Each structure stands twice: as structure tokens, then as C-alpha cells.
């Protein structure tokens, strides 16, 4: 019966992966409709009632498109760099706790794929890996504009990983552990956003920059301005970049929920529903931001990351450390 | 030093308020009805002078107005109109055949401006797309309609084109001849 645990793991993976990919595809539709409503227009509403078949129609269109690989690209890297982006975003879900332990027939089933005791480091490491997708995509395309877009994107993502990590250090200090399950369990009295508002803000801003959304949208906006790191990708490769980006948005929401908003904790509703509610506040905020704010120029972006967020995060760490020591003495 | 501090706080406050007001504006838009007009369910009524499909109109008397003078064909920038003139038994010119290629037509309205009899007119009907390119060539029986189009009262042959029947001054819109031998102005 040793394999029952394995089968259970496969079942959990199947459910969550299916739900995640479905949610990512429909997040695209939700984004288009919400953007439309923010701009006093309808979003897509022709493909089905309220446009619900639109993601499926887009998927079919992407699959049927001609897969163009330009002549002088680095073929291996070109083929695999979209996969890096999507894979890394999906892998972060492995450490997110979905619910308190469910008891089934006397056995405790943990509602998390892998309760790593360094879960937070795993998350940060994966978001560092996602830089590869951008940089490799830009490099492999063998085009000047793609290269510039890839370089800028990689520089932006690397710069904003520092405030991302630094803003999570107070969370670790308060929870006493790197494991995400322990962090959620440490928020049983109050969510960490109440005691760490600065860290919450810095984390949200850095994650917007990591996700390459407006106003930190230069690697992609170069699509509109000149080119961008994913110009030369067509059809399903481009769809993979796109899905990877939207999975990244959802996963960011889940991370914000776990680190600052109390994870699956909440009074009345089932824990998974609370996690979903808290998770989808962040994509809503990201879409709202996209509808509202203009884009930051590249030097403004770098200035903001290095000269503003990092010092504030460091001061926050020092102050939190001091207060924690003072309380515990 | 204190002033710099106050300026910084003020700048920070203004920055935050600027962002917050922007977010509030887009949030209010969520609760407004969208201003899009959904096309097939709602078709906006176009003014009569909108330039779309071409028709050939008729007189108040019921005769077709077109006299096949070739003016529309000559002025057409893309040469999509062609016709052949012929004369009826009672001496009136008409078009034996009249063909417009709507695939080439740019709906500029020059033919409507050039026509002396107000025969050829453009109507606001734009919904006539077809799948077969060649079915866009409209013959005279597709173009001729039973009404007077945009100007119902005009009859070219009352103004020109035939021998005048009455005395001087009795034609339509003609002034009385001046008596040069009298003293009155």
C-alpha cells in the first residue's frame, strides 16, 4: 500500500494543474473583459455568451497557426525558452498550501504538494529562473530588437528580485520558518499585512515588476514601441509565453495571499475558497493597474528598484528585527 | 531642512493622491454602461446622404431618369461604370445596358455629383457583402428602382433636352423677357 501516497499525489497534481491551466486561460478572458469595462467598452462577447468560448477559440487559432522559426535562430534555445517561462511559473505551485489538513478515513492528507522546509527559498529561486526565459528568448531570436527587449527584461527582473527577497525577510522573522505551511499557520491570529504594510507594498510592487506588467511593462511594451523578446515566436510558442505570464500572475496572487493575507485562513467559507478569493484580488489589482497607469521609462524603472525599494526594504528589515527583539525580550 | 521635509511629505502626498485619483476614475468606469454600440443587434441609422450602394432612379412620371450620357462613367476614378446608350421610339435616350462593378467602386459619390438628371444616386445601404467576387457586377435590372431616390420632384426633361413648346418666359424657372421699349424699369 506504499503506492497509495503516490497515487494521491498524482491525483492532487492532476486536479491542481488542470485547475491552474484552466484558470490561467480564463484569466486571459477576464483580463480582456475587465480591461474593456475599465475603458467603458465591452470586452469580447461574440465567441459565446459573455465570450466564454473566447479562450478556446484563441487556443484553436494558435494551434492552427504556422509555426515559423526564422532562419538564423539558435534552434534549440528558440524551441525551449517558452517552456522555461511556463514551467517555472507552474512549479511554484508545488509549495503553496491550499487548505488545512484534510482527514480522510483516519489518514491526514496534507493539502500541499510538498511541504519543503525551505519553501520560501524555493519560490525565490524559481522566480530567478524565470529570467532565463526572457533572456534566452531574446537572445535566440537573432534579432536586434528582440535582443534589446530580452536584455532590458532580464535586467528589470534581476533588479526587482532583490526587493522581492528583502521584503520577505520580515515575514520569515515573524513566522520563524521558511516553510510556507508554517508561515500560513503563524498567521492564525492576524494576517501579516497588518504588522508589515511596508513589506506588503514592496512585495506587490516587486511582483508587478517580476511579472512584467504595467507600469513595468518595458520588455513587452517594446512590442508596441519597436519589438520585444517574444516577437519572433508565433502560434503555440507565443501562446506558451502568454499562458506562462498569466500563470505567473495567478501564482503571484497565491504567494501574496500566503505571505501576507493569511493563506487559506478565514471565518466561514471553506479554506480553498478563501485562498481563491485572496489569490484573485492580486490579478484584479494588476488588471486595474494596467487600465490605469502609464508605463515607466527604463531609467525610471531602475531608479525606482535600486534607489527606492531596496533601501526601504532594508530599513524595514532593521526596524522589524528591532521590534521583534524588543517584544521577545 | 524642515522645509525640505515638508516639501517631501507634500510631494509624497500629491503623488499618492494622483495615483489614487487615477484608480478611482477607472474604478468608476466599471459601473458605467459601456458606450459601445453592438453592431448587428443595433444598427445606427445613417443620414440619407451617406455614400454606399448605388441605385438608378426614376422620374415623377415613372420613366427612368438615366439618359446614358456617359458623364458618370467618365468621372469615375476607378472606371467601374460602363453603359451603352440607345434611343427609344419617342426620341428619348436611355441606356441599353448599364453595369457597375461594386468590387471596384470606391463609393466616392463623383458619379452622383456629375449626373445631370439625378439618375444615379448613392444610398445608405452598405450591407451587401457577397462571397463570390463576380456577383458584385450589378446590371441595370439590379440597379434600377421604382422611386425617385433622394430627390423625388426633379424631372430633367422639364428643364432641358427637348424643344421648348411655349413662348419666351413660359418655361420652368424662366423669368419674363424685359420690354426694352418701355420706360418702366
CA pair distance A254, A94, nearest whole angstrom: 12
CA pair distance A143, A51, nearest whole angstrom: 36
Sort residue A176 into left (φ over 0), alpha (ψ -120 to 50) or beta: left
Task: Note down the domain range covering B2.
Answer: 1-35
Which residue of A41, A45, A292 is in closest CB contact with B26? A292
Would you say residue B185 lies in a domain? no
Give rounded-to-5 percent helix, strand, coil for chain B: 25, 15, 60
Would you say residue B174 lies in a domain? no
Would you say residue B17 lies in a domain? yes
Instruction: Give the ipTM of the model, two decimals please.
Output: 0.81
Q: Do A42 and B30 touch (CB under 8 A)?
A: no
Q: What average pLDDT does this structure show over A280-286? A: 91
What is the structure's pLDDT at B141? Answer: 85
Would you say residue B48 lies in a domain? no
A285 touches chain B (CB under 8 A): no
* Residues B153 and B62 reside in one and the same domain: yes
pLDDT higher than threshold 60 for residue A227: no
Would you say residue B177 lies in a domain? no
* Residues B75 and B144 reside in one and the same domain: yes
What is the structure's pLDDT at A224? Answer: 59
Q: What average pLDDT does this structure show over B49-71? A: 92
How many CB pairs below 8 A link A and B? Answer: 31
* Residues B13 and B95 reside in one and the same domain: no
Best of A32, A38, A197 to disrupt the B interface (most B CBs within 10 Å) is A38
Residue A73 near residue A81 (C-beta atoms within 8 A): no
* Residues B27 and B86 reside in one and the same domain: no
> Which positions in chain A touch B23 (Cβ < 8 Å)?
288-289, 292
pLDDT higher than threshold 70 for residue A33: yes
CA pair distance B54, B49, nearest whole angstrom: 12
The residues spanned by each domain of chain A are 19-64, 71-328
> Which positions in chain A touch B20 (Cβ < 8 Å)?
none
> Which positions in chain A touch B19 (Cβ < 8 Å)?
293
Residue A181 near residue A257 (C-beta atoms within 8 A): no
* Residues B24 and B63 reside in one and the same domain: no
Q: Do B22 and A39 touch (CB under 8 A)?
A: no
A291 touches chain B (CB under 8 A): yes
* Residues B146 and B86 reside in one and the same domain: yes
* Residues B25 and B115 reside in one and the same domain: no
Residue A145 near residue A228 (C-beta atoms within 8 A): yes
Closest CA to B67 of B44, B94, B91: B94
User: Any idea what the CATH number is for the domain that residue B95 is in?
Assistant: 3.30.70.3270
What is the structure's pLDDT at B162? Answer: 77
A39 touches chain B (CB under 8 A): yes
What is the structure's pLDDT at A265? Answer: 84
- In angstroms, what separates the C-alpha of B37 from chain A's closest C-alpha? 9
Give the model confidence (pLDDT) of A65-104 as tens digits. 888 888 888 888 888 888 888 899 999 988 888 887 777 7
* Residues B67 and B154 reside in one and the same domain: yes
Q: Which of A34-43, A108-117, A287-296, A302-311 has the lowest mean pLDDT?
A: A108-117
What is the structure's pLDDT at A226? Answer: 62
Q: What average pLDDT does this structure show over A251-268? A: 88
A49 touches chain B (CB under 8 A): no
Amino acid at each position: 500500500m506504499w503506492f497509495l501516497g503516490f497515487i494521491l499525489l498524482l491525483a492532487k497534481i492532476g486536479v491542481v494543474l488542470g485547475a491552474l491551466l484552466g484558470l490561467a486561460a480564463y484569466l486571459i478572458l477576464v483580463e480582456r473583459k475587465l480591461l474593456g469595462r475599465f475603458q467603458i467598452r465591452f470586452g469580447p462577447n461574440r465567441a459565446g455568451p459573455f465570450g466564454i468560448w473566447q479562450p478556446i477559440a484563441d487556443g484553436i487559432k494558435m494551434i492552427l497557426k504556422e509555426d515559423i522559426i526564422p532562419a538564423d535562430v539558435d534552434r534549440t534555445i528558440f524551441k525551449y525558452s517558452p517552456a522555461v517561462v511556463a514551467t517555472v511559473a507552474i512549479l511554484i505551485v508545488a509549495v503553496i498550501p491550499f487548505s488545512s489538513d484534510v482527514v480522510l478515513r483516519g489518514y491526514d492528507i496534507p493539502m500541499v504538494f510538498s511541504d519543503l522546509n525551505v519553501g520560501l527559498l524555493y519560490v525565490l529561486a524559481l522566480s530567478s529562473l524565470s529570467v532565463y526565459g526572457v533572456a534566452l528568448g531574446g537572445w535566440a531570436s537573432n534579432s536586434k530588437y528582440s535582443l534589446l527587449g530580452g536584455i532590458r527584461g532580464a535586467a528589470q527582473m534581476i533588479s526587482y528580485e532583490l526587493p522581492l527577497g528583502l521584503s520577505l525577510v520580515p515575514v520569515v522573522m515573524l513566522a520563524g520558518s521558511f516553510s510556507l505551511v508554517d508561515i500560513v499557520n503563524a498567521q492564525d491570529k492576524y494576517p501579516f499585512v497588518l504588522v508589515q504594510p511596508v513589506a506588503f507594498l514592496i512585495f506587490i510592487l516587486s511582483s508587478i515588476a517580476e511579472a512584467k506588467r504595467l507600469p513595468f511593462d518595458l520588455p513587452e511594451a517594446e512590442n508596441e514601441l519597436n519589438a520585444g523578446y517574444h516577437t519572433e515566436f508565433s502560434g503555440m510558442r507565443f501562446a506558451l509565453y502568454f499562458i506562462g505570464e498569466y500563470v505567473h500572475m495567478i501564482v503571484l496572487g497565491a504567494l501574496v495571499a500566503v505571505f501576507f493575507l493569511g493563506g487559506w485562513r478565514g471565518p466561514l467559507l471553506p479554506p480553498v475558497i478563501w485562498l481563491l478569493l485572496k489569490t484573485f484580488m492580486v490579478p484584479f489589482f494588476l488588471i486595474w493597474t494596467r487600465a490605469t497607469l502609464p508605463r515607466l521609462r527604463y531609467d525610471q524603472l531602475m531608479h525606482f528598484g535600486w534607489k527606492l525599494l531596496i533601501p526601504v526594504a532594508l530599513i524595514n528589515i532593521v526596524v522589524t528585527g528591532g521590534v521583534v527583539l524588543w517584544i521577545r525580550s | 531642512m524642515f522645509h525640505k521635509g515638508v516639501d517631501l511629505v507634500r510631494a509624497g502626498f500629491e503623488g499618492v493622491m494622483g495615483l489614487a485619483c487615477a484608480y478611482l476614475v477607472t474604478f468608476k468606469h466599471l459601473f458605467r454602461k459601456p458606450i459601445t454600440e453592438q453592431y448587428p443587434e443595433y444598427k445606427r441609422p445613417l443620414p440619407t446622404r451617406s455614400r454606399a450602394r448605388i441605385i438608378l432612379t426614376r422620374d415623377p412620371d415613372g420613366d427612368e431618369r438615366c439618359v446614358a450620357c456617359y458623364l458618370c462613367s467618365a468621372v469615375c476614378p476607378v472606371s467601374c461604370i460602363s453603359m451603352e446608350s440607345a434611343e427609344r421610339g419617342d426620341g428619348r435616350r436611355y441606356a441599353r445596358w448599364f453595369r457597375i462593378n461594386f468590387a471596384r467602386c470606391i463609393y466616392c459619390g463623383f458619379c452622383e455629383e456629375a449626373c445631370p438628371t439625378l439618375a444615379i444616386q448613392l444610398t445608405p445601404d452598405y450591407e451587401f457583402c457577397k462571397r463570390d467576387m463576380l456577383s458584385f457586377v450589378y446590371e441595370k435590372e439590379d440597379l434600377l428602382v421604382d422611386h425617385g431616390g433622394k430627390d423625388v420632384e426633379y424631372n430633367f426633361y422639364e428643364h432641358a433636352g427637348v424643344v421648348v413648346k411655349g413662348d419666351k418666359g413660359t418655361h420652368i424657372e424662366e423669368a419674363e423677357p424685359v420690354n426694352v421699349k418701355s420706360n418702366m424699369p
